[in-house]
C-alpha cells in the first residue's frame, strides 16, 4: 500500500469513528435535555455535519485504493 492511500484511508476511518460518536452524543443530549434542545437549530446542524462526515469517511475509506494491497 502506498503512503497517500494509507493516509486517505486512515483519515476516512477517523471520520467514521468521530462522526459516529458525535451522532450518539447528539442523541444522548436530546434525550437528556428534552424538547427544548430538539427545537434548537444547533442539534440539527450537528446531526447534519455528523452524517456528512460519516458519508465522506465511508467514501474515503472505501475508495482510497485497492483493498487487496491492504
For residues 56 and 15, is the Cβ–Cβ distance under 8 A?
A: yes
| Cα angle 69-2-56, degrees, rounded to a multiple of 5 | 85
Q: Which residues contact residue 65 at a Cβ distance below 8 angstroms, ignoring those fewer than 6 apart?
A: 1, 2, 5, 8, 9
Provide the sign of the torsion angle of the four alpha carbons 7, 13, 16, 22, taken in this order: negative
Q: For residue range 46-59, what is the model confidence (pLDDT) as tens digits?
A: 999 999 999 999 99
Eight-class DSSP state of 34: T
pLDDT at 3: 85
Residue showing cell 458519508: 55
Q: What pTM was computed for the model?
A: 0.81
Amino acid at each position: 500500500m502506498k503512503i497517500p492511500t494509507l493516509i486517505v484511508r486512515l483519515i476516512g476511518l477517523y471520520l467514521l469513528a468521530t462522526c459516529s460518536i458525535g451522532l450518539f452524543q447528539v442523541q444522548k443530549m436530546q434525550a437528556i435535555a428534552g424538547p427544548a434542545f430538539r427545537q434548537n437549530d444547533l442539534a440539527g446542524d450537528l446531526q447534519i455535519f455528523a452524517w456528512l462526515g460519516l458519508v465522506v469517511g465511508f467514501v474515503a475509506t472505501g475508495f482510497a485504493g485497492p483493498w487487496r494491497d491492504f
